[in-house]
Amino acid sequence: MSVEHILLGVLSWMPNSGYGIKKEVEISGRELGWGRLSYGSIYPKLKKLEEEGFIRAVTAEREGRMTKIYELTAKGWRELADWLRCPPAPPEIRDELVMKISFWETGLPEDRETLIEHLELRRREAEEMMRHLEEWSRNGYSAIGELGGLAMDYWLDHLRLSIEWYGRVIRYLEGPPAPPRQDPHGLYEKARRRRQDALGPEESDLPKHPRR
Amino acid sequence: MSVEHILLGVLSWMPNSGYGIKKEVEISGRELGWGRLSYGSIYPKLKKLEEEGFIRAVTAEREGRMTKIYELTAKGWRELADWLRCPPAPPEIRDELVMKISFWETGLPEDRETLIEHLELRRREAEEMMRHLEEWSRNGYSAIGELGGLAMDYWLDHLRLSIEWYGRVIRYLEGPPAPPRQDPHGLYEKARRRRQDALGPEESDLPKHPRR
DNA sequence: CTTAACATGTAAGATGTTACATGATTCG
DNA sequence: CGAATCATGTAACATCTTACATGTTAAG
């Protein structure tokens, strides 16, 4: 319920254009802390915020280009402060890789190589992301004040932890193919049987080529 | 692009009802790894998946109650496997608290107490969440196999890190009110001035009572 | 001269949430 | 007997993404 507030917050750092806001919040194509912000949502929202008097457009010349720079009005600063005072919503994490890992042993137990590939790709992406972040925070931009720096640390620490965990899972997968299994409720065995009953013994054993 | 696949994955653990799927995936009202799953999206999707032949309803009696239990068909198992083989989308994290912290010094610099309250509330929630998770993983349910256990570790490690970080920020905020500031680009000073120009000197200094 | 980056926007469509509606059963 | 939990569903609404459309300027 508040892409609007993210926009007001970014504009509190400095007056900016729609294009500039996206650049400000994204690091290598991803947004930290706010899923994604696409132009398709930024521009209409900025228009709406202007109509409602939270921001004001100052069509300006920036390095030779015509740019529509927005800045906060008194009403906008007040709205931002009110929003900041409200208790924040709980965090939402959407991580397809971790979900796939949770489903792997019941859904595709015979194919460990593909999962290792997923993990290695993700690990490379995360390392790339960390490099960008470290460089960015050295520039001092967008991390305004000490709190901004602490927020940066938050993302860096979590990235570091994720990278470490990807390695841990890869090491597990590269180990012996059938380790002794803790299965107090027999769920894994039952799942394996249901799958075999549905697919037949041949298909449930033969890994196929990945698509996409 | 795949609440559907989450449903197929959870059904691969065991045949289940719409109600049961939600219970399975949520821990104290939050879903790990997949934002939220509301009944308003679960039931229509299950219906659609059944119409398309990925799952099959087995209306059954579970502890005296009439329950619509769904299970995967051969087509459903195949679709799950195909999805698992696809490279996963990058993770999305939506964390309003961390965003608010990034905006705090430009948006509401004079009010540190409210931010400390936000952080303490969040820390309590995270500790509560950790307790639930630890208990849950001791039961052995829903963490099928070693990989399920590793996924559990992933959430626990991240929760632990977050709790540690909340403490760090609280300690910083409880420290001296105006620490020496690194501001190589003068962004903080400029933001402060823009805010004061827009709001006037009185309003920009007086914290108000929190709403909600 | 052509590619990448800068820059703004719209419209259709997918997606998901909230609130509502309903009813059974269990437990204190 | 009332509250909580189990259980299923719908409809209106809010939200966001994707793809498209368009044009400029800088750099190689």
Q: How far apart are CA B11 and CA A204, in angstroms?
A: 17
Q: Are residues A79 and A112 in the same domain?
A: no
Residue B204 and residue A12 in contact, taking contact as beta carbons nearer than 8 Å: no
Nucleotides in D strand less than 7 A from protein CB: 6-12, 14-20, 24-26
What residue spans of chain A are helical by DSSP H? 3-13, 18-25, 39-51, 74-85, 96-107, 112-139, 145-174, 187-199
Task: Determine the 3-state secondary structure of B68 from DSSP.
Answer: strand
Mean pLDDT score, A193-198:
95
The DSSP H or E segment spanning B138 is: helix B112-139
Burial class for A78, CB neighbours closer than 10 Å (0-12, 13-18, 19+):
middle
In a domain, B158, yes or no: yes
Q: Are residues A142 and A51 in the same domain?
A: no
**Count of structural domains, chain A:** 2
Residue type, A36: R
In a domain, B29, yes or no: yes
**Residue where a domain terminates, one of B25, B54, B85:** B85
Using the CB atom, is residue B92 less than 7 Å from strand C?
Answer: no
Q: Which of A100, A119, A132, A163 to mutate to test the interface with B (most CBs of B within 10 A)?
A: A100
**Residue where a domain terminates, one of A55, A85, A115:** A85
Selection from A90, A58, A59, A76 nearest residue A9 by Cα = A76
User: Using 50, 70 and 90 to split pLDDT, how confident is the model at A200?
Assistant: confident
**Protein residue closest to D19, using CA and C1':** A40
User: Using 50, 70 and 90 to split pLDDT, how confident is the model at B30?
Assistant: confident
Closest nucleotide (C1' vs CA) to B62 is: D6
Q: What is the pLDDT of residue B143?
A: 57
- Give the max Cα distance, chain B: 69
Q: Are residues A118 and A171 in the same domain?
A: yes
Condensed to tens digits (0 to 9), the pLDDT of residues A91-146 reads: 999 999 999 999 999 999 999 999 999 999 999 999 999 998 888 777 655 556 88
**Residue where a domain terminates, one of B57, B85, B113:** B85
Q: Are residues A140 and A79 in the same domain?
A: no
**pLDDT of A14 over the 60 cut:** yes
DSSP 8-state assignment for residue A203: T
Range of the domain at B63: 3-85
In a domain, B210, yes or no: no
Q: What is the pLDDT of residue B153?
A: 93
Using the CB atom, is residue B41 less than 7 Å from strand C?
Answer: yes
Mean pLDDT score, A176-184:
68
Q: How far apart are CA B51 and CA B57, in angstroms?
A: 10
Provide the mean pLDDT of chain A: 88
Selection from A84, A114, A198, A81 nearest residue B87 by Cα = A114
Interface contact B103-A12, CB threshold 8 A: yes
Start-to-end C-alpha separation, chain A: 34
Q: Are residues B76 and B25 in the same domain?
A: yes
**pLDDT of B76 over the 70 cut:** yes
Mean pLDDT score, B39-67:
88
DSSP 8-state assignment for residue A34: B
Q: What is the pLDDT of residue B66?
A: 79
